[in-house]
Structure 1
Amino acid sequence: MSSLRVLVFITLFIKIGAQTGDDVKHLITQLFTTNDYVKQVRPNRNQLQPMILDLDFFLVGIDEVDELKQRLITTGYLIIGWTDEYLNWTGADFGELNHLYVPQTDIWMPDITLKNGFTKLEKLGSSFIKAKVESNGQVTWMPFEVFESKCTIDITYFPYDQQSCNIIFVVWSSSVADVMVTLWNNGIKLDSMEDNAEWSVVSTSARENVQASESTVIFTLNLKRSSNYYLMNIIIPIILLSILNLFTFALPADSGEKMGYCITVFLSFAVFLTIVSSELPKTSGSILGYYLMFQLGMGTFVVCCTTVELRLHHRNGDVPVAIIRIMKCRNVNKITKMEHQNETESEQGITWSDVVSSLDVVLFWVSTAMVIVATIAFLGLLWTR
């Protein structure tokens, strides 16, 4: 029994050791010269049967999501497999050589490409990439690319938005009767993916789409934007500035600083929004964009109200009785019981300064209510996405 094991070991050792460079040269000569391999011929002995291409997509990284150009840039590689019936051999005849690597330019290659590409149509792979050919004719090709694909970007819920982008591969020239692409095993694999600072992959999917004229494989990436940066550097500062804007009405007109404070806050708001605009997507329709316009409108409203209040504050005329009643500066019943109906503001003890003070209180609470309602609605729409 022991002698038999030694004999088997020696036999295997001899077979392994018999695989030489000459075996590889002889195999290549037989495949490409003796058998007269022609790479322009689809490698099906029965040309009535379509060539089946199996695809897997390994995502390496998300380079960029361009909202303005509606473009997704990813880095990854495909694993494409098919059976070449003109590239097969018996391993025992070539020192147990079961596979070899050949340049992709030396064998038949499918003209597979990115259907929804953003730039010009180009073939996959490069001349230095080699395909693995096994003794049973199985060919495995792994072209590595930076894919620029079209993607419809919806920024309505920016910066809490999620995007769904498709990467579509198709055999460009061949019909379904000649070449058909199908999913292999895994669809999209994320094992080699590197993290992106702004985007993360929520989920992936893959499906086949066979039509009368072509067959495609569609890989779908569901992406989610990281919102912490925009929350800390845009949303929270805007809310804080809006609070400062409201407290314009808390300053008394006699202080002499009310207009200066109001203009300073408004200019700060305008400058900040100019800086923020460089960080926002250059497209319209986001809830954040509408909220910014609302806050800018509130700033304009506060400046206008402050201007009118200061003009009223320095007015020397009498306060009309109607205004006194509206502002409820004193009990109207006492006014009707007065002996002289033409009693002036000074006689009643009511001045324009009192009217402005009452107006400040009303405007402060009205503006505060508007800002609170708008902010809650804005945050609610984003966070309940």
Structure 2
Amino acid sequence: MNAIVIYLIISTCGLALGQTPQQVSSLITDLLSNYNKKVRPVVDQSMPVTLDISFNLISIIGVDEVNEKLETSGYLSIMWNDAMVTWDPVTNSDIYRIFLPQGDIWKPDLVLGNGFKKFEELGGHFYYIDIDYTGSIFWQPFQVFETHCSMDTTYFPYDKEVCEIVFVVWSYSVNEVEIRKSDDGIDLSAYEESGVWEIIQTDVKVSKSSIDSKVTFSIHIKRKPLYYVLNVIVPILFLGMLTILVFVLPVDAGEKMSYAMTVFLSFAVFLTIINTQLPVSSDSTSILSIYLLLQMSMGVLVLVITALQIRLHHRDETVPMPRVFKIMVNLDNCIRCTKSCQSSKSGSISPTMNTENQPKADQEALEEKPWDNTKVDWKDVTSAIDFLAFWIFLILYVALTIYLFISIAT
């Protein structure tokens, strides 16, 4: 008996609180019978419709540095009040909310202000709008947004970009439809982390003019550099070191030129491979691109010096040696400390040599050109070139590399 009573109570309450399709259909018919979606839904037409807009970012699909394009997926949360679709739930079977296709009632003509594609309405025919009995409208159009984003790749791969997603009320003036930013701003609760970019900050700004009203969602992103450091920068550093090691090989080995050419070609082939991974922009040149250009220039210079070395190494000893080569050999001796600088400068002049009987012109020549009296051969010249070029290029390489990392990482 008690079970029957409980069942009757639950059944009665369910009938009282539930709504049948006919009741919901009747309410929708009554609401839309005199509804004109071409008219702004305010009682006083001199007052604007206020839109509360927030942006829910789902993911950063990609960033195209060449075309300066940001591709994201997400949806807008748009709220406004429609005075033409209000009802009393008590007299309408306790119906507090209904859902209608977005094309059945008035909605703002928001467009993507900085998009790549043609203007098109947000959402689609299969989207529904949530309507509360007080006339509060809640609309969430989802879309993949392709927007213009100015790129500054100077500090690639440690670059930071600021991309904007702008929405504009296209037809109505600010006196008719007014945008107000939501307290939520850009909601990242459903955001899926990108493997290339990291969001470091988000901003929302509402701009109003005499013509229109727009809201700008700014996304501050930073590139994750680990992939490019391991696959681009580190191999370049290794190839740069191999280029300098050309001057360690003696000319007599016979492999000096072939080694230099092999390293240079390897560097060129590697640059061709990684060229597709580097951003291309005519407005800004990355420091890494300048570094690569300098490395290539160093490689060309190494080839030229190596070719000249081989030419000098096999020159006949009877050929007069220019003074600059003798200075280079003596400088090499001074740096290596293999000979005394004083003895190098004195050359063949002996402290016990009697120069009083020599002609005055010869004495002046010996005093003014001590380098010319040093006995050196062409092998000494090529050895000096190897030593001096190695340290010059090593210092230059280290300085450029330190400058590269300090510039792009700060």
TM-score by length of 2: 0.86
2:337 aligns with: none
Say whether the 8 Å CA contact 1:60–1:192 is kept in structure 2.
Answer: yes
Say whether the 8 Å CA contact 2:345–2:374 is kept in structure 1.
Answer: no
Kindly report which structure 2 residues correspond to 1:181-192, keeping only aligned pairs within 5 A, or say none.
181-192=179-190
Which whole-Å CA distance do the structure 1 matches of 2:257 and 2:308 have between them? 11
Which whole-Å CA distance do the structure 2 matches of 1:58 and 1:52 have between them? 20
Question: What SS is found at the alignment partner of 2:103?
Answer: helix
Residue identity opposite 1:13 in structure 2: C
Deviation at 1:27, TM superposition (A): 0.4
1:299 lines up with 2:299 in the alignment: yes
Which whole-Å CA distance do the structure 2 matches of 1:118 and 1:321 have between them? 66
1:335 aligns with: 348
Which whole-Å CA distance do the structure 2 matches of 1:18 and 1:332 have between them? 111
Residue identity opposite 2:234 in structure 1: I
1:146 counterpart (134, 144, 147):
144
Kindly report which structure 2 residues correspond to 1:259-274, keeping only aligned pairs within 5 A, or say none.
259-274=257-272
Deviation at 1:323, TM superposition (A): 3.0
Which whole-Å CA distance do the structure 1 matches of 2:324 and 2:56 have between them? 77
2:382 aligns with: 356
Deviation at 1:94, TM superposition (A): 1.4
Which whole-Å CA distance do the structure 2 matches of 1:286 and 1:325 have between them? 40
Residue identity opposite 2:32 in structure 1: F
1:373 lines up with 2:399 in the alignment: yes
1:66 aligns with: 64
Say whether the 8 Å CA contact 2:315–2:378 is kept in structure 1.
Answer: yes
Which whole-Å CA distance do the structure 2 matches of 1:16 and 1:355 have between them? 107
1:38 aligns with: 36
For residues 7-46 of structure 1, what are the alpha-carbon distances to aligned partners after superposition, in whole Å with 9 as ceiling and x for unaligned? xx9799257434222220220121112xx11111111110
Which whole-Å CA distance do the structure 2 matches of 1:17 and 1:348 have between them? 113
Say whether the 8 Å CA contact 2:347–2:374 is kept in structure 1.
Answer: no
How has the CA–CA distance of structure 1 residues 247 and 14 changed in structure 2, closer, same or farther, with 3 Å as cutoff?
Answer: closer
Question: What SS is found at the alignment partner of 2:30?
Answer: helix
Which whole-Å CA distance do the structure 2 matches of 1:324 and 1:17 have between them? 107
Which whole-Å CA distance do the structure 1 matches of 2:157 and 2:12 have between them? 63
Which whole-Å CA distance do the structure 2 matches of 1:201 and 1:147 have between them? 17
Q: Alpha carbon RMSD of aligned pairs, Å?
A: 2.2
Which whole-Å CA distance do the structure 2 matches of 1:12 and 1:238 have between them? 79
Deviation at 1:335, TM superposition (A): 2.5
For residues 143-168 of structure 1, what are the alpha-carbon distances to aligned partners after superposition, in whole Å with 9 as ceiling and x for unaligned? 00011111101100011001001111
Say whether the 8 Å CA contact 1:100–1:133 is kept in structure 2.
Answer: yes
Question: What SS is found at the alignment partner of 2:277?
Answer: coil
How has the CA–CA distance of structure 1 residues 12 and 356 changed in structure 2, closer, same or farther, with 3 Å as cutoff?
Answer: farther
Which whole-Å CA distance do the structure 2 matches of 1:373 and 1:229 have between them? 24
Which whole-Å CA distance do the structure 2 matches of 1:349 and 1:334 have between them? 7
Say whether the 8 Å CA contact 2:79–2:139 is kept in structure 1.
Answer: yes
1:47 aligns with: 45
1:310 lines up with 2:336 in the alignment: no
1:323 aligns with: 325
Residue identity opposite 2:395 in structure 1: A
Say whether the 8 Å CA contact 2:247–2:390 is kept in structure 1.
Answer: yes
2:197 aligns with: 199
Larger radius of gyration: 2
Question: What SS is found at the alignment partner of 2:172?
Answer: coil
% identical aligned pairs: 38
Deviation at 1:276, TM superposition (A): 1.2
Question: What SS is found at the alignment partner of 1:324?
Answer: helix
How has the CA–CA distance of structure 1 residues 218 and 320 changed in structure 2, closer, same or farther, with 3 Å as cutoff?
Answer: closer
Moved more, 276-285 or 119-128: 276-285
Q: How many equivalent pairs are there?
A: 373
Question: What SS is found at the alignment partner of 1:107?
Answer: coil
Kindly report which structure 2 residues correspond to 1:112-261, keeping only aligned pairs within 5 A, or say none.
112-261=110-259
Residue identity opposite 1:203 in structure 2: Q
For residues 349-369 of structure 1, what are the alpha-carbon distances to aligned partners after superposition, in whole Å with 9 as ceiling and x for unaligned? 621011110111011001111
Query: Which ranges of 4 or more aligned residues in structure 1 deviate by more than 6 Å?
Result: 9-12, 338-343
Say whether the 8 Å CA contact 1:132–1:140 is kept in structure 2.
Answer: yes
1:83 aligns with: 81
TM-score by length of 1: 0.92
Moved more, 277-286 or 251-260: 277-286
1:3 aligns with: none
Which whole-Å CA distance do the structure 2 matches of 1:177 and 1:350 have between them? 91
Structure 1 alignment gaps of length 5 or more: 1-5
Which whole-Å CA distance do the structure 2 matches of 1:325 and 1:116 have between them? 65
Say whether the 8 Å CA contact 2:155–2:409 is kept in structure 1.
Answer: no
Say whether the 8 Å CA contact 1:15–1:96 is kept in structure 2.
Answer: no
Deviation at 1:325, TM superposition (A): 3.6
1:288 lines up with 2:294 in the alignment: no
How has the CA–CA distance of structure 1 residues 276 and 183 changed in structure 2, closer, same or farther, with 3 Å as cutoff?
Answer: same
Say whether the 8 Å CA contact 2:196–2:224 is kept in structure 1.
Answer: yes
Question: What SS is found at the alignment partner of 1:305?
Answer: helix
